[in-house]
Chains A and B, each alone.
Chain A
Amino acid sequence: MQDLGIRVLFMGNNLARLLGGLWVTIEISLLSVVFSIVLGILLGMVMTLKNPVIRCITKVYLEFIRIMPQLVLLFLVYFGVTKTFGIQLSGQVSAVIVFTLWGTAEMGDLVRGALISIPRHQYESGAALGLESGQIYRYIIIPQTLRRLVPLAINLTTRMIKTTSLIVLIGVVEVLKVAQQIIEANRYTVPDSALWIYGAVFFLYFLACWPISLLASRLEKKWKD
């Protein structure tokens, strides 16, 4: 019976529940991305300083975050912090914290790269015209840095949306969890619903990420020097 599985998708408020789950996913991603961009820009600027102590600290932070699987970080924050310090963190808050830690590291590195990729002559040409250093940043350096950064930041956002599928494992009811619940509830009546429901989830992820990637490649093309 081919049409049985798809029927589950439209039974009761299943579709609305899936969309609700997707919203949780997107909300966590967006919050994390916003925090990551703000903190990442600061981190990136700090990382261009020549101070050896700052260099060492930021480097260790970056390597630590990169080496640790995100899942381990999630467990560490959700279970570790909660147990050790007696602070009750919800799954969603833990997720935002972990993704922000991760995103800040990635953004920081991107910002650092974008800043040092601006040739020294760009600063000097501005200075030679009589611009003050604040004006050089405002009119010359920051606009160019942002142009290099925006596509990369958007890319990071889609990666975050995808990685949020891990937060099922700390009990957050997002789109994947809702899907599992629906499949579970219909296990006996519609045994083949899994394909359809997960198919719908696939489609929803696609729906969330595709326009974002599209935007990224558009901007990249538009701003190519």
Chain B
Amino acid sequence: MDKNERLLEIHHLHKDYGNGPVLNDVSLDVHKGEVLVLIGPSGCGKSTFLRCMNGLESIQSGEILLDGQVISGEKTKWSEVRQKIGMVFQSYELFPHMTVLDNILLGPMKVQKRSRPEAEKEAEKLLERVGLLDKKDVYPRQLSGGQKQRVAIVRALIMKPEIMLFDEVTAALDPEMVREVLDVMLELAKAGSTMVIVTHEMQFARAVADQVVFLDGGDIVEMDEPERFFVCPKTERAQRFLNTFTFEKKEG
């Protein structure tokens, strides 16, 4: 695995929803096989940043490249690009009128025009991998939050994306279901997937990340390897942010 090959490049990105800049001149490279964890205070633009990467949000200026090709231009065929950039959202949005299997097969069959038997075989393999093969014929409403989120991950994976974006995929889950979803992501990381993960689970971030990216005030404030970042962050802002996750012992 060549870790120096740049898969996704973001150059001088500006994003504004019309009431002041949200992202201000942000640049970032994601290398092949790398796991980037994006952290930062609520409202700092983490979701916006991910959504710009797959064109769910338009950008005001800057450039985004995938495999060396500019994808932020006017003529971008997003349908093609998005097959290479998988995304999983915070609110596990499965399609409620379809079974688990049909949810997973929609992309491969309608976008990639793959045959049903072939796609179905792969869907079953992936479901097995996340421990949900027995749920393939049920409807999303019959699943727990953690199970839905694992199906959502499979739905993105079956497209064989080059890179996966995860936007706080455990934030809406009950605590006891967080682990099962994080474990799936850890396994993906071990298998060499390229991922950009937004999360508030600091333990997990430390375990999974190759690089931690700290975003605040519309820009990347600090970027470092997890051990260095979590043990001795260089900037005061990162220090202060990390402190919000620890508690002082009660006096006396």
Contact = CB atoms under 8 A, between A and B. Distances in A.
Interface string A117-132: 0010110111111111
A130 B93 CA distance: 15
B97 A127 contact: no
Interface string A188-202: 000000000000000
Interface stretch (A4-12, A139-147, A171-179): A139-147
B111 interface: yes
A69 B187 CA distance: 65
A121 B89 contact: yes
A139 B86 contact: no
A135 interface: yes
Contacts, number: 66
A57 B241 CA distance: 52
A50 B123 CA distance: 40
A63 interface: no
Contacts of A3: none
A123 to B, nearest CB: 9
Interface string B81-123: 1110011010101111100000000110011100000000000
B106 A128 contact: no
Interface residues of B, number: 27
Contacts of B94: 125
Interface in B30-88: 54, 56, 78-83, 86-87
B86 A128 contact: yes
Contact of B54 (A128, A139, A143): A128
Contacts of A139: 95, 106, 110
B155 interface: yes
Given A121-B93, A122-B93, A147-B97, A129 B56 contact: no
Given A121-B91, A122-B93, 15 more contacts: A119-B91, A119-B93, A122-B95, A128-B54, A128-B156, A129-B111, A129-B156, A130-B79, A130-B80, A131-B79, A131-B106, A135-B111, A139-B110, A143-B97, A144-B96
